[in-house]
Amino acid sequence: MAHYQRIGNVPDKRHTQHRTPEGGLYYEELMGEEGFSSDSSLLYHRRLPSSITNARSWDLGDSQATTPNQPLLPRHLKLHDLFLDETWRGVDAVTGRRLVLGNGDLRISYVVADAPSPFYRNGVGDECVFVESGAARVETVFGAFDVASGDYLVMPRATTHRWIPAGEEPLRAYCIEASSHIAPPKGYLSKFGQLLEHAPYCERDLRLPRGPLLAEDSGVGVDDPAEVYIKHRGRGPNGIAGTVYTYPHHPLDVVGWDGCLYPYAFNVSDFEPITGRVHQPPPVHQVFEGYNFVICNFVPRKVDYHPLSIPVPYYHSNVDSDEVMFYVEGDYAARKGSGISKGSVSLHPGGHAHGPQPGSYERSIGVEYFDELAVMVDTFRPLELGEAGRAVDDGTYAWSWAGGKDEPPVDGAG
């Protein structure tokens, strides 16, 4: 985010002596994007941020591996069939993520968790985690968030943090891990970075971390050693590898920070939908973007009010994109009869024209309101299937517009 924030104990002048009450020095860390040429923040640590006492590989196995969508098919992936029979017990929201779809630009994973995660940072890119249901406290070096259903949490690359599920039900999270930064769409921003009047949300809708958050606030001491799990660029599948560092001190040792780079939360219910007399194209639903992808959300809204309008989408061939929709709440009119329901993901790949299921086109005429909530990711490079995506592919969605498929079965299509 381009707007400046300042939290906690920060010296008046940057890069000057910042003294502890005992007369020692705090250690200044610049966390900045694009070298020293883009947004950054200055963090003031009680201990050396670079001191590590051990390192070992974090074996990610095949968790980041993907297989091509071949033969090319639209697919329905039933995420709620993952973590069945309470297999989420003891699972955490970092190491328990299961990869649904991915490519070199981003990975989409899903997790159901009830256990605290280890400290973690993603050195590959920014993360945007959408909380489908449940709640969690997320502790970061910038401060803490309480997140719940409908929250996006945008976490800048290399931010040390951990997820602590809260409440009775498990946390269900849809995790978008980029290989780049994630930010509001450029078209929403002034030349100096303010969200413009036509944007569907503004700075007031963004929640900042509450801080500073220190080790003592978590019931431990600043000199208690801790491990931090790091996902980073390497030679593993999709160019990702893992390492675990041991620090001689606790990661929550930042007494203050200021700058324009920090995590923030945004609840999808604060997204003000843009509607029109005829069907509005997906860019009006955009909420964030990264390199080679966009994130959109479809929220409950009044729909098209031209007297001859057809509220569901026209058939469309996004010739440059793969389109992934995660159906979160409500009743998704365009997909009736396809088997898609809450917890479903549809993948509509580039090269295949898609649109409403049979009958939906006609049925939508005269409808005034769509009670639906969905998160969409459109990628410019093709998406491949992760382990979890393959495990919950319904195998029949591709034929749902035609009412069935011809035999013999197509290889790999179920």
Name the site residues for Fe ion (rule: CB under 5 A). Answer: 323
What is the token pair recorded at 31?
Answer: 């966390």
- Give the whole-angstrom CA distance, residue 320 versus residue 380: 6
Shortest approach of Fe ion to residue 195 CB, angstroms?
Answer: 26
Complex with Fe ion: residue 127 or 323, whichever CB lies closer:
323
Shortest approach of Fe ion to residue 186 CB, angstroms?
Answer: 22
What is the token pair recorded at 394?
Answer: 């319904």
Complex with Fe ion: residue 343 or 356, whichever CB lies closer:
356
DSSP assignments along 136-171, one per residue: EEEEETTEEEEEETTEEEEE-TT--EEEEEESSSPE
Shortest approach of Fe ion to residue 338 CB, angstroms?
Answer: 13
Q: Where are the beta strands (DSSP E) in 9-82?
A: 27-32, 40-45, 54-57, 75-78
Q: Are 40 and 260 in contact (CB under 8 A)?
A: yes
Complex with Fe ion: residue 249 or 285, whichever CB lies closer:
285
Shortest approach of Fe ion to residue 107 CB, angstroms?
Answer: 21
Shortest approach of Fe ion to residue 335 CB, angstroms?
Answer: 10
Rg of the chain in Å (alpha carbons): 22
Complex with Fe ion: residue 132 or 323, whichever CB lies closer:
323
> In 3-state terms, what secondary structure has residue 112?
strand
Shortest approach of Fe ion to residue 85 CB, angstroms?
Answer: 33
Residue in the shown chain whose Cβ atom is closest to Fe ion: 323
Complex with Fe ion: residue 147 or 374, whichever CB lies closer:
374
Shortest approach of Fe ion to residue 74 CB, angstroms?
Answer: 10
Return the closest-CA partner of residue 152 out of 281, 263, 45, 27: 263
Complex with Fe ion: residue 323 or 384, whichever CB lies closer:
323
Omega of the bond leading into 68 within 30 degrees of 0 (cis): no
Q: Are 224 and 249 in contact (CB under 8 A)?
A: yes
Complex with Fe ion: residue 5 or 292, whichever CB lies closer:
292
Using CA atoms, how far residue 174 sits from 133, 153, 164, 207, 291, in Å, is 10, 11, 16, 19, 19
Return the closest-CA partner of residue 378 out of 299, 281, 268, 240: 281
